[in-house]
Structure 1
Amino acid sequence: MKKTFYSNGKLLITGEYVVLDGAKAFALPTKYGQNLTVEPTEGEVIHWTSYDSDGSVWFEAVIPFASIVRKERFDDAHTIKNTLIEILHEAYLIHSDFITTAKGYRIITELTFPKKWGLGTSSTLINNIAQWLQIDAYVLLKRSFGGSGYDIACAQNNTGIIYQLVDDQPVVELVHFKPDFTDKLFFVYLNKKQNSRNAITSYFGKHNNIEKTIPIIDSITKTVVEATEPKTFALALQRHEIELSNILELATVKESLFEDFQGVIKSLGAWGGDFVLSISKENPTDYFRQKGYETVIPYQQMIVEQ
């Protein structure tokens, strides 16, 4: 019997990097996400096909059950296959029945956003696999990809979240975020996908005395979530950029790319790629497109309605 599972994508509005050290982060689920369809077959293998949002196949492989059980590793030309086997192996260690009591599967994944956008190709996959196998997605993430887990919370919820790691365990607070100024908010794709793992490694090399920063970020997150005026919201995010700029020893995205922008620009997630959030009085689409950034998405088009 064929079964289909779905998970939301994510955008991290506050708390990038420092969420790993226990700061409160604010994140929003996106209208874009990923489907996973599972159909029983024969042969003790998984026929796996992954489709991008334009219908093109970006990954295809036949994975024997035996490769999953022993976590077989192929050469470097098969990076995606190795990663998938690693995830499925960890899932097998948690809940072996999907291998030991099955004959085979045909599995299809379908992104509803372009893979290069970085809205959570991995997190939506992990959450979908966890739904399929009825296991804890946070545990599966920790054992495979790692990371804070805020993206799993977005995958599972249709509302804003405040996310925090307390004693290395996820604490999720659902928040209703629907201010009157969402028409002033636009998400802009920076034309390149950032490697989150590399960015996190770089952060851990520079986050000395982070204890002083965490309460500041917590306060900013509270202000952002509760803001009723666009100026309050924008100034809080501007302060956030300055705080992270000092920690990461990097220029803010506005300083490096959009110095003449009339408004505030906030990096989202790993700095230097994926999406940024712009806040301005006027629609900024023409401004960004003149600079070569064609993907400018209004808030209402991007974020799950709350």
Structure 2
Amino acid sequence: MKKTFYSNGKLLVTGEYLVLDGAQAFALPTKQGQNLCVETSKNHEIVWTSYDFDGQIWFQDTLSFSDITNGTRDQTESVKSTLTTILHEAYKLNPEFILNANGYNVTTELSFPKNWGLGTSSTLINNIAQWLQIDAFTLLKNSFGGSGYDIACAQNDTPILFQIKDGNPTVKQVEFNPEFKKNIYFVYLNKKQNSKTAIEAYQKNKKNNLAETIALNDQLTTAVYNAPTLLAFKYALTQHEAHLSSILETTIVKDTLFPDFDGVVKSLGAWGGDFIMAVSEHNPTAYFKSKGYETVIPYEEMILHSGNDLK
């Protein structure tokens, strides 16, 4: 018997890094995501195959049940080691999937290139949690770490507000369907940012006046998703970018890469890689391609608006 599970990808618009300390984050689930298919097998092992968006195998290996139950892994950051850790933590939450099984064939399939940073790990964790009927936020916390906003995007088909309150994730679906969405584009910066490294840098540099910093972040987050006009949206994004720049002591991406761009450029998620949001009166595709950035995706093609959108 074959079981299939699906999770949405994600883009974090506001609250980068600060979301770890209780700030509100505005995030968008993407139309692209990841499938996970499970079939029963034998030999007390999991034969795992992962496909990229173009059908090419990017990971393939066999994990023994004993390695999963014991959490046996090498000391590298290999895909197999990371997967073993996730499955070991899943086993601790629901041991029946190992104890009462003979084996599995598992395949995963991305509908976006894995180097895009849209949530290869979070969609995997949420799919595993669906398969094993365990809490995805707990599995993330025990294995990969992070705030959990990406898990929330994996589970929701509309824009969301995400916040950690008293150590627990809270998710609120919000309406974000402005007329000016036609002016919003997403541009891939040709490199994937390591989220773990970026988070470690933030934890090292964050200041003591967190309450004040978070309060301003939350005001700007509200201004972003409630913006009534394109001008108000651009202003709120610019203010948010400047606010976070001062916290991270990092130059904003527009100043470093696109100083002559006629519009607003906003970092998304971990600064320095993956996607940026570009807001412009005119289609900016030619501009970014002239700079060597070939992947420019309109808002409507990237963002999941409701459960009616096809996956």
- Cα distance between partner residues in 2 of 1:48 and 1:139: 23
Letter in 1 for 2:161: I
- Cα distance between partner residues in 2 of 1:248 and 1:74: 33
| 2:206 alignment partner in structure 1 | 207
Alignment of 1:257-296 (within 5 A): 257-296=257-296
Where does structure 2 lack aligned partners over 5 or more consecutive residues?
307-311
- Cα distance between partner residues in 2 of 1:75 and 1:88: 16
| 2:170 alignment partner in structure 1 | 171
- Which secondary structure state, in structure 1, belongs to the residue aligned with residue 201 of structure 2? helix
| 1:4 alignment partner in structure 2 | 4
- Cα distance between partner residues in 1 of 2:211 and 2:61: 45
| 1:18 alignment partner in structure 2 | 18
Letter in 2 for 1:282: H
Quote the offset at 1:121 in angstroms. Answer: 0.2
Q: Is the 8 A contact 1:26 1:163 kept in 2?
A: yes
1:144-166, CA deviations, whole angstroms, 9 ceiling, x for partnerless residues? Answer: 00100000000000001000000
Alignment of 1:28-39 (within 5 A): 28-39=28-39
| 1:86 alignment partner in structure 2 | 85
- Cα distance between partner residues in 2 of 1:292 and 1:147: 31
Quote the offset at 1:75 in angstroms. Answer: 5.1
Quote the offset at 1:210 in angstroms. Answer: 2.2
Q: Is the 8 A contact 2:159 2:305 kept in 1?
A: no
- Which secondary structure state, in structure 1, belongs to the residue aligned with residue 197 of structure 2? helix
1:41-97, CA deviations, whole angstroms, 9 ceiling, x for partnerless residues? Answer: 111000000000011111110100000000111253x71101000000000000000
- Which secondary structure state, in structure 2, belongs to the residue aligned with residue 7 of structure 1? strand
Letter in 2 for 1:129: I
> TM-score by structure 1 length?
0.99
- Cα distance between partner residues in 1 of 2:261 and 2:74: 47
Alignment of 1:1-306 (within 5 A): 1-74=1-74, 76=76, 79-208=78-207, 209-306=209-306
- Cα distance between partner residues in 2 of 1:299 and 1:220: 21
Identical aligned residues as a percent: 59
Q: Is the 8 A contact 2:53 2:110 kept in 1?
A: yes
- Cα distance between partner residues in 2 of 1:212 and 1:177: 27
| 2:309 alignment partner in structure 1 | none
Quote the offset at 1:241 in angstroms. Answer: 0.6
- Cα distance between partner residues in 1 of 2:300 and 2:140: 29
- Cα distance between partner residues in 1 of 2:84 and 2:292: 38
Quote the offset at 1:200 in angstroms. Answer: 0.2
- Cα distance between partner residues in 2 of 1:269 and 1:45: 36
Q: Which runs of 4+ in 1 moved over 2 A?
A: none
1:153-186, CA deviations, whole angstroms, 9 ceiling, x for partnerless residues? Answer: 0000000100000011101111021011100000
- Cα distance between partner residues in 1 of 2:278 and 2:58: 31
Q: What is the number of residues matched between the two proteins?
A: 305
Letter in 1 for 2:220: I
Letter in 1 for 2:132: L
RMSD: 0.8
- Cα distance between partner residues in 2 of 1:274 and 1:19: 18
Letter in 1 for 2:87: L
- Cα distance between partner residues in 2 of 1:234 and 1:206: 27
Letter in 2 for 1:30: T
Quote the offset at 1:212 in angstroms. Answer: 1.6
Where does structure 1 lack aligned partners over 5 or more consecutive residues?
none
- Which secondary structure state, in structure 2, belongs to the residue aligned with residue 213 of structure 1? helix
- Which secondary structure state, in structure 1, belongs to the residue aligned with residue 205 of structure 2? coil
Quote the offset at 1:305 in angstroms. Answer: 2.4
Q: Is the 8 A contact 1:180 1:228 kept in 2?
A: no
Letter in 2 for 1:202: A
